[in-house]
Structure 1
Amino acid sequence: MLKTFRVISSVQFQQIRLAHRIRGKAPIYCRTIKERLDELNYKDEVYSTRIDIGLPRIKKSASDSRNERLQHVKNLKTDKNLEQLARNHKLSIDLSEARSDWLKTISPYHKRQIAEHYGVFEHLYGEGYFIPFMNLDIQYNLKNDLFLPVCCGNVIKPAEALEYPTVSYESDGDSLWTLALTSLDGHLTEGEKEYLHWMVANIPGDSVEKGDTIAEYLRPFPLKGTGYHRYVFVLYKQDGHVSYDLPKVIQSSPLEERTFITREWYKQYQDAITPVGLAFFQCDWDQTVRDFFHHTLKTKEPIYEYDFPEPYIRPQEWFPRRKAFNIYMDKYRDPKEINKEYLLTKLKKEDPFKTPPAPLRFPNAHPLPRNMPSWLKLHERKIRLGWGRVNDV
């Protein structure tokens, strides 16, 4: 009787499924998938709640939106000319009209998604965000009747943004606006702060040139080795004339005077301004940044590079075994001397008045002399296949 009880108890507590033991706790003691997902995706409401600081949304009832879509589809289906052109693959779409419809309908929500993807709202306002209902048309003049637009994250080189761009948007002459351009990633000493590259306040209508320039335009200067920097244009609608408590910044002002924190500045004037428009671009280093530091800022350009430590080379052995002696000896020679030797050896076989021989179609199919040493065979195969040092010359 005692033996039977022991067998039953061992089977009861031993989890066996399809002849395999199950590791971990039994399912009756484990947490459910929902409990596990809730634990992994937990967010504190105090720090994760987002606040809409922009204009209120234009709400439409679900029935009205559904009726508009149904009516649009009905109009397309009843147009026999469109159906005939589509069947014959001759239907063309007016891209300008399609873009106009996009700007009037869902473009603000697309721009908001892109801005959140790049972390623009988080680094500008913290928990705040807004839907850019106002379309900003910003273009840099590249001369020769060429213009480069600022969209939502497109790449613009520093040489293409040397002067302030043209800014246009739909507005009447009675409203006042503020335009600000800040760099989210370019501060040299304080990483959590920004540089104010351009700010114009009390703009009547869309006449940016008639506004009060608080900070003159400063070209982007992303540092070498730091990747892409984000430069953000934000358009604010004013409730009236606003006098910002900011010092006037000119071109020759030091960079310290351009230190800026958008969140603190907006918190101070949030009762008088509302963000309505957004556009931003990315920028990485080019040669003009070095000229800007040397000739404009009169300082040395900071460069960020990887500092690779020198590879460890073990001490030489008296009899290195199972090691090709040419590769082993090259470890302890100057690399410049090796490259020079290899280049001279290669130039001996080159004739400037004859075309070089065509590469072998099947390099490994051509046999090498039997009396050739193994290390030289390996060297010849690398030359034929284009491996190793042959690529450096």
Structure 2
Amino acid sequence: MVLVGWRCVFHDLKTIQICFVRNGHRLRGKAPGVARTLKQRLEEINYKDPVLSQKIDIGFKPPKSPQMKELYKQLGAVRSSKGLEKLARTGELLIPLDEVKKDWKTTVGPQQIKKVAEHYGVYETLFGDAYFTPCVMVDIHYKNADGCCFPVHRGNVIKPNEASVVPEVSYEAKPDTLWTLILTNPDGHFTSDDAEYVHWFVGNIPGNEISKGEVIWDYLQPFPARGTGYQRFIFVLYKQEQKMDYSQLKQQLPCLQLQKRTFKTLDFYRKHQHDLTPAGLAFFQSDWDSTLTDFYHNTLQMKEPVFEYDFTEPYISPQRWFPLRKPFNVYMDKYRDPKDVIKGYLLKKLKKTHPFKKPEPPPLYPNAFRLDDDIPSWLKTEIKKDRLGWGRINDV
């Protein structure tokens, strides 16, 4: 006997099964009060050990700026100032951008750069479970021969032809300190997914004089392959505790062999973590442009790689008689050879084409012509599309 609603089904004296029976359907499983909710199951699936998932700070601790209190006071005064509000409303308020940028660097700038880097996955890609707060602000600009300047901020797009020359790098540092600057691309390695290409490596930089540093790898412009989309190019500035010996990494310049430019930031930092501390960060994005074809052929002396996404074949359900709520011709085309479909549209188009006469101009109001009532609905739709110039026949 089967009842509608909750009931106990006695299979034997030892087994009791709870089931829900309604409208002839029996849903087996635990009762809603006993079974776990969707939220509980998702928390169990996405659970992460708080100890293992804890991030490690490998950078300098940013000093608390005494200007923050003054900044909040100024913000309060500005918001309550009627004179500034009037100047802003009339378009007469002038803001000194240099002073604003200077205040931003010493107040909220490092934390905002850190948030943007986390958003783009910079720390996770380069340092794994570690991160750092960029305490040293690095200003990087690409200048071309025509006088155009392309600054590197945090994730802005710079084309390969705009970054073809060595950039100008500046930062504040004492002359008796040593620094290391590395430009790396973690997204464009051709043979290894977890490896990088180092595009620039300058070590033992005295103060902020990049030209006096030791060039380990000379500058190589970005060369993202066609079809790979945007790639990240990351500048990391390290502060040295002492003079470093990079003789094992140093290559013969100019280095144009990509295999010799294979690099891993995490392995490099683990080896020198007692002598190097990351302090500055800047990065940009770049994708393929037409100038890279010549760069691959003449500079790298290699065939230009082109990547394409291989789409899987679409699933087509087994054919059946009289499909409901589906256009007849479109449904039948799914089960035909695509070449035959294109051939049919091409022949239909060639029937209206004359080798020596211009094609007839389309009517001003194509759908104003009446169609016979005995024409099937799918054919009416096809005729309307043909008149309006819609559909595949115009793409053949």
Deviation at 1:364, TM superposition (A): 2.7
Q: What SS class does the counterpart of residue 224 from structure 1 fall into?
A: coil
Change (3 A) 1:60 1:93: closer
Q: How does 1:62-81 map to 2 (within 5 A)?
A: 68=70, 71-76=73-78, 79=81, 81=83
Deviation at 1:284, TM superposition (A): 1.4
1:51 aligns to 2:56 (yes or no): yes
Q: What SS class does the counterpart of residue 174 from structure 1 fall into?
A: coil
Aligned to 1:316: none
Deviation at 1:173, TM superposition (A): 2.1
TM-score by length of 2: 0.76
Distance in 2 between the 1:192 and 1:99 partners?
36
Aligned to 1:364: 367
Q: What SS class does the counterpart of residue 48 from structure 1 fall into?
A: coil
Aligned to 1:157: 159
Counterpart contact for 2:179–2:203, Cα < 8 Å: yes
Deviation at 1:163, TM superposition (A): 1.6
Change (3 A) 1:247 1:23: same
Q: How does 1:1-393 map to 2 (within 5 A)?
A: 25=30, 29-30=34-35, 38-59=43-64, 68=70, 71-76=73-78, 79=81, 81-86=83-88, 90-244=92-246, 245-307=248-310, 333=340, 335=342, 339=346, 342=349, 345-346=352-353, 351=358, 360=364, 363-368=366-371, 380-392=383-395
Counterpart contact for 2:65–2:106, Cα < 8 Å: no
Counterpart contact for 2:346–2:393, Cα < 8 Å: no
Deviation at 1:183, TM superposition (A): 0.8
Deviation at 1:230, TM superposition (A): 1.2
Distance in 1 between the 2:39 and 2:140 partners?
47
Counterpart contact for 1:216–1:249, Cα < 8 Å: no
Counterpart contact for 2:182–2:200, Cα < 8 Å: yes
Distance in 1 between the 2:382 and 2:33 partners?
65
Measured on the aligned residues, the alpha-carbon RMSD in Å equals 4.2
Change (3 A) 1:364 1:173: same
Richer in helix (by share) = 1
Aligned to 1:18: none
TM-score by length of 1: 0.77
What do the CA deviations read for 1:197-251 (whole angstroms, capped 9, x no partner)? Answer: 1101111222211111000111111122222111111111112221123132423
Distance in 1 between the 2:286 and 2:242 partners?
34
What do the CA deviations read for 1:60-115 (whole angstroms, capped 9, x no partner)? Answer: 79xx95x5465324533675532443565644444443333222211211111111
Change (3 A) 1:373 1:265: closer
Deviation at 1:329, TM superposition (A): 9.4
Aligned AA for 1:235?
L
5+ long unaligned stretches in structure 1: 1-7, 16-20, 314-321
Distance in 1 between the 2:311 and 2:73 partners?
65
Change (3 A) 1:286 1:60: closer
Q: What SS class does the counterpart of residue 291 from structure 2 fall into?
A: helix
Aligned AA for 1:184?
P
Distance in 2 between the 1:47 and 1:365 partners?
71
Counterpart contact for 2:144–2:165, Cα < 8 Å: no
Change (3 A) 1:301 1:60: closer
Aligned AA for 2:349?
Y
What do the CA deviations read for 1:171-206 (whole angstroms, capped 9, x no partner)? Answer: 232222111011101111111111111101111222
Counterpart contact for 2:345–2:392, Cα < 8 Å: no
Aligned to 1:4: none
Counterpart contact for 1:130–1:275, Cα < 8 Å: yes
5+ long unaligned stretches in structure 2: 1-5, 9-17, 21-25, 317-327
